[in-house]
Structure 1
Amino acid sequence: MTKKKNKNLSLLLFVAPALVVYIIFKLFPAISGVFYSMTDWNGLNKNYHFVGLNNFLEIFQDTDFWKSMFFTLKYVVVMVFAANILALLLAVGIESRRKAKGFFRTLFYMPNMISMIIGGYMWTFIFTKVCYYLADNWGLKFLDKSWIGDPKYSFLAIIIVSAWGSVGYLMIIYMAALQGVPAFLIEAAKLDGASSWQSFWRVTFPMIRHGVTICIFWTLNSAFQVFDVIYSLTGGGPGRATQSVAINIYEEAFTGNIRFGYATAKSTVLFLAVLLITAVQLSVMKRREQEL
């Protein structure tokens, strides 16, 4: 019993620094945010009034917030499919190679090492200058579009940049999962006459379900919180056509008529929505893993 206590204590000491940082910079702001969401605090004045659930009731009548929520949901759905399918295809393609695996891993992972604010401004130059140059001088007329100023194409531009920045990270997770699949199972499937697709779908994919769960979980959370890509590319425009919930909250809290308490109430609603969807996703994915 004493040995077990000492072991638990030593483990607690190891995680203590990270736990302290998490409590100070994550847990405490989250808990205090719930309190401030029920006040009219503007973020600067020491004096504020408790307004109860008035902020949350106002959210139901805030059409801009619900438009941004709808846009964010659309973005989340597209990103979950697009980013994970591309990442899995890249992982399978690189793992199937005999040479230059390290080169391709590095090549596709590099965008993840760049801040998406910087990446967004880089792609702004591509969409506004390079695409027009290629359309005018190389005859690539399909690139002659207002990628940022037209709502029809601005969403596509955001997806392209977001996928560019996140696929490399997801690819590494999928590659790690693929490397854990026993080679003899794939060889046995081939001996039984299975095609490459059948071998992947019937043998490999079920074995990497845990990797799929992790990647979908990560994509869901990051997509719901998307801010930097949209802010650097379109700023939420044209108008509010590409405004995510995070940008809507940012504008409420730090621009114009500053209403920090109301913005915090919106953050609480977003947190609850992400929590609910993530819980459902993890429950469904874990159940399928257990069935296998």
Structure 2
Amino acid sequence: MSRRGPYYVMVVPAVLIFFVFHTVPVLQGVFYSFTDSPGYGPFELVGLRNYVALFGDPRVLHAYWFTFLIAGVSTVAVNVVSLTIAVWLNSRIAWRTTLRGIYFVPNILAILIVGYIFNYLFSNSLPALGERLGIGRLSTSLLTDSSTAWLGIVILAVWQAAAFNIIIYIAGLQTVPVDLYEASAIDGASPWRQFRSITFPMIAGFFTINMVLSLKSFLQIFDHIVALTGGGPGTDTESVALLIYKGGFQGGEYGYQSANSVVFFVVIVTLSIVQLRFLQKRETSV
């Protein structure tokens, strides 16, 4: 009985705050997805009309395709880069702690500020360097061409997200017994063989965590695109999150984009569950 007081004091306020600022807005969003609300003034219930219209809207379909492209490429790239750096850092004795701190810095910085810096690099510094070197492809900004703008977004996303993944992988690498490497070295195993047969199977759980979190994060990509392209040229680099924001808060499509957000939520949850179960099964077979 004496412990119930502190328990309720700590838990009840947290639950109430979560319910008011998270659960209630989510339920309101679901309700508005069945209306034609522009975000203000009167509205009417329209049933499933918004959901049906989503599947025939070219702009929405393109946003989903572009989001899946960015999320897929970035998830693979960030895990390859992060695991490579983590393995290298784990093998370094000198400056190990300092290097970990340096590599974690991108995760601390505000992505909008970093994005504007990358925007300047892609739009000014890189073209100037391309002109001096006589490289035609680099003499113009990556962000002005729809065929290359997505690459700039991927570069920024991977650079910023790698910091967190590196820390997770380093934590996993530290759980691998050194004796296994020593025994394999005596048997003549190459570094690649050690990685494939010892390192990766031992950190498979950490790989699963990073893959799931990376995909979920990249599917919700927003700040990177705002800072680099704003969704342009035209709407070629418009992600689902950016489309929901533009249409819902700036385009008078609050009800329509609320339906889009509900569908997007279901997509993210479904992909995360499928990915998690697939990778967990793979852990047992590695």
TM bin, normalised by shorter chain, reads over 0.9
Match of 2:192 among 178, 193, 197: 197
Residue 272 of structure 1 pairs with residue 266 of structure 2: yes
Match of 1:227 among 222, 227, 233: 222
Residue 90 of structure 1 pairs with residue 92 of structure 2: no
**What is the rounded CA distance, in whole Å, between the counterparts of 1:74 and 1:259 in structure 2?**
25
Deviation, structure 1 residue 132: 2.2
- Partner of residue 39, structure 1: 35
Deviation, structure 1 residue 192: 2.1
Match of 1:179 among 162, 174, 193: 174
Residue identity (%): 35
Match of 2:127 among 123, 126, 132: 132
**Which whole-Å deviations, capped at 9, do the CAs of 1:157-193 have from their partners, x for residues lacking one?**
1111111111111111111111111111222222222
Distance 1:102 1:8, change over 3 A: farther
TM-score by length of 2: 0.93
**What is the rounded CA distance, in whole Å, between the counterparts of 2:12 and 2:96 in structure 1?**
38
**Which whole-Å deviations, capped at 9, do the CAs of 1:136-177 have from their partners, x for residues lacking one?**
345565532321101121111111111111111111111111
Deviation, structure 1 residue 12: 7.8
Q: What secondary structure is seen at the aligned counterpart in 1 of 2:142?
A: coil
- Partner of residue 22, structure 1: 18
Distance 1:211 1:19, change over 3 A: farther
**Which whole-Å deviations, capped at 9, do the CAs of 1:60-117 have from their partners, x for residues lacking one?**
1111000110011111110110011101111111111111112221222111111111
- Partner of residue 153, structure 2: 158
Distance 1:115 1:44, change over 3 A: same
Which segment is superposed worse, 55-64 or 135-144?
A: 135-144
Distance 1:154 1:6, change over 3 A: farther
Residue 109 of structure 1 pairs with residue 104 of structure 2: yes
Distance 1:280 1:183, change over 3 A: same
- Partner of residue 289, structure 1: 283
**What is the rounded CA distance, in whole Å, between the counterparts of 1:169 and 1:10 in structure 2?**
34
**What is the rounded CA distance, in whole Å, between the counterparts of 1:281 and 1:216 in structure 2?**
8
**What is the rounded CA distance, in whole Å, between the counterparts of 2:8 and 2:183 in structure 1?**
45
1:226-245 correspondence runs (5 A) = 226-245=221-240
**What is the rounded CA distance, in whole Å, between the counterparts of 1:172 and 1:12 in structure 2?**
35
Deviation, structure 1 residue 31: 2.3
Residue 61 of structure 1 pairs with residue 56 of structure 2: yes
Which stretches in structure 1 are left out of the alignment for 5+ residues? Answer: none
Q: What secondary structure is seen at the aligned counterpart in 2 of 1:38?
A: coil
Contact 2:126 2:141 in 1 (8 A): no
The Cα RMSD (Å) is: 2.2
**What is the rounded CA distance, in whole Å, between the counterparts of 1:192 and 1:15 in structure 2?**
55
Distance 1:93 1:10, change over 3 A: farther
The residue type paired with residue 74 of structure 1 is L
Distance 1:230 1:22, change over 3 A: same
**What is the rounded CA distance, in whole Å, between the counterparts of 2:4 and 2:191 in structure 1?**
47
The residue type paired with residue 244 of structure 2 is I
The residue type paired with residue 26 of structure 1 is H
Which segment is superposed worse, 281-290 or 242-251?
A: 281-290
Q: How many residues align?
A: 286
Match of 1:261 among 252, 255, 262: 255
Distance 1:54 1:8, change over 3 A: farther
**What is the rounded CA distance, in whole Å, between the counterparts of 1:283 and 1:12 in structure 2?**
36
Deviation, structure 1 residue 56: 0.3
**What is the rounded CA distance, in whole Å, between the counterparts of 1:105 and 1:164 in structure 2?**
15
